[in-house]
């Protein structure tokens, strides 16, 4: 059988299982309203939590950097691709997050895979929450360390795994879980890590910018300083790329060991410039106003629509459906009524837990929540009363 025949066979199996994926097309700016497949819709599927992805200030910063730095870095940052904009962005991130060292990566996936596989290996142990992002899972696998996967937010299981292993240990968890919208007990994880001489790595991709003082995330809000904090520029910061905030020594080690950093062309300088502008906004009074709006919309969503999961303050509000085909039918019917909510199926979430993943931003309004509620009732996603 040819490779093409194999591909056709696999696609048919996915279709039969209700798990075939085909992306929709966005035109124009990302935002609370967007052009999806050629029509204007209420956009409740984005991670652009602070509504900065379409902000003209970020675009102007990028345009200026395009004039001076061009469209590409031209090489790995360790060759001749380490542009002044990259250095300035890492310094701005370090100042914002109050750490001594920051390393930029080209994506959150690259950051997690590269960092975990760089810092632990054969003979070491990684203890990982079962609902951690795929990039964390793959980083654990590539590290060749022993990987202990513990039930979601089960502190007893974390402690038992830590107590039964010697050698170097790394505890890794998301802070705000991307598909469930719930929050890890980062204070308890920090205590366990210290008690058992383990390092703590927190992925704050969905919390940075949205939660905590100056938008510094859940760890900062709880007074926790993890050994490694992973963040992204592609969500609340409205840009692209990712980073690891840590000590100066660990940041220097990543230059030498993180393969996804060492062997990748650097981010375009214009991207780095736009993210630095986003950080300035996030740290300002305007940034606090936007965080307040996100929290208000998160509460309003849950007040109006029954059955939504996630923490009350989380902009991520999943509605469990269960069946893979049904969830995509719901998503399609909502889109017909001008509301885009993405259906999420395995392998992104465990089998039998397909869901509508609703996400709100600072740019949404009370009337948007009402529109979603009415569309969900009309489509039979929720009960009429």
The answer to whether residue 133 is catalytic is yes
Max distance between CA atoms of the chain, in angstroms, equals 62
Tell me if residue 47 is catalytic: yes
Q: Is 45 in contact with 344 (CB distance < 8 Å)?
A: no
Q: Give me 35's structure tokens.
A: 């052009």
- Report CA torsion sign: 160, 163, 167, 170: positive
Active site residue 106: no
- Alpha-carbon gap, residue 333 to 365, rounded angstroms: 22
> Phi and psi at residue 290, in whole multiples of 5°?
-65, -40
- Tell which residue, 193, 189, 191, 219, has the closest CA to residue 206: 219
CA dihedral 145, 151, 155, 161 (to 10 degrees): -30
Q: How far is the C-alpha of 75 from the C-alpha of 66, rounded, in Å?
A: 16
Alpha-carbon distance 135 to 81, whole Å? 25
The 8-class DSSP code of residue 266 comes to P
Q: Which of 48, 90, 180, 203 is catalytic?
A: 203
Tokens of 237: 């910061």
Which residues are registered as beta bridge partners of 103?
Answer: 244
Catalytic-residue membership of 178: yes
For residue 103, the surrounding DSSP H or E stretch is strand 101-105
Q: Six-digit token pair at 369? A: 């929540």
Which is catalytic among the residues 169, 235, 330, 364?
A: 235
Give the active site residue among 55, 159, 174, 368: 174
Q: How far is CA 154 from CA 250, 311, 353, in A?
A: 28, 17, 19
Respond yes or no: is residue 9 known to be catalytic: no
Active site residue: 169, 206, 330, 364, which one? 206
Rounded Cα–Cα distance for residues 283 and 271 (Å): 19
Structure tokens at 203: 């992925």
The one catalytic residue in 128, 178, 233, 260 is 178
Long-range contacts of 251-255 (CB under 8 A, 24+ apart): 251/100, 251/101, 251/102, 251/103, 252/101, 253/118, 253/119, 254/103, 254/114, 254/115, 254/118, 255/78, 255/103
Sort 272 into a burial class: Cβ within 10 Å, 0-12 / 13-18 / 19+.
buried
Hey, which residues are catalytic here?
47, 133, 174, 178, 203, 206, 235
């Amino acid at each position: 059988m040819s490779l093409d025949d194999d591909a056709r066979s696999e696609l048919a199996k996915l279709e039969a299982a209700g798990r075939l994926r085909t992306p929709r097309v966005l035109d124009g700016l990302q935002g609370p309203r967007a052009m999806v497949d050629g029509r204007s819709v209420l956009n409740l599927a984005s991670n652009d939590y602070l509504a900065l992805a379409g902000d003209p200030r970020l675009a102007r910063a990028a345009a200026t950097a395009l004039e001076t730095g061009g469209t590409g870095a031209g090489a790995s940052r360790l060759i001749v691709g380490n542009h002044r904009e990259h250095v300035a962005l890492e310094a701005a991130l370090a100042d914002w997050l109050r750490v001594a060292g920051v390393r930029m990566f080209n994506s959150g996936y690259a950051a997690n895979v590269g960092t975990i596989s760089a810092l632990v290996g054969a003979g070491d142990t990684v203890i990982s929450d079962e609902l951690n992002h795929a990039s964390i899972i793959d980083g654990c696998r590539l590290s060749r360390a022993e990987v202990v996967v513990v039930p979601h937010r089960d502190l007893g299981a974390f402690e038992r795994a830590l107590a039964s292993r010697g050698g170097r240990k790394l505890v890794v968890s998301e802070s705000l879980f991307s598909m469930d919208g719930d929050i890890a007990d980062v204070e308890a994880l920090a205590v366990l890590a210290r008690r058992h001489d383990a390092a703590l790595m927190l992925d704050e991709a969905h919390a940075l910018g949205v939660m905590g003082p100056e938008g510094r995330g859940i760890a900062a809000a709880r007074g926790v300083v993890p050994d490694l904090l992973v963040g992204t520029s592609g969500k609340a910061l409205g840009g692209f790329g990712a980073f690891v905030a840590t000590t100066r020594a660990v940041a220097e080690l990543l230059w030498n060991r993180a393969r996804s950093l060492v062997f990748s062309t650097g981010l375009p300088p214009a991207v780095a410039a736009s993210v630095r502008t986003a950080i300035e906004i996030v740290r300002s009074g305007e940034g606090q106003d936007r965080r307040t709006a996100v929290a208000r919309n998160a509460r309003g969503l849950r007040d109006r629509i029954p059955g939504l999961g996630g923490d009350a303050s989380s902009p991520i509000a999943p509605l469990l459906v269960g069946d893979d085909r049904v969830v995509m039918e719901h998503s399609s019917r909502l889109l017909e009524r001008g509301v885009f909510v993405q259906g999420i199926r395995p392998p992104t979430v465990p089998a039998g837990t397909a869901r509508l993943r609703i996400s709100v931003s600072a740019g949404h309004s009370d009337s948007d929540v009402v529109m979603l509620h009415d569309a969900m009732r009309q489509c039979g996603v929720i009960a009429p009363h």
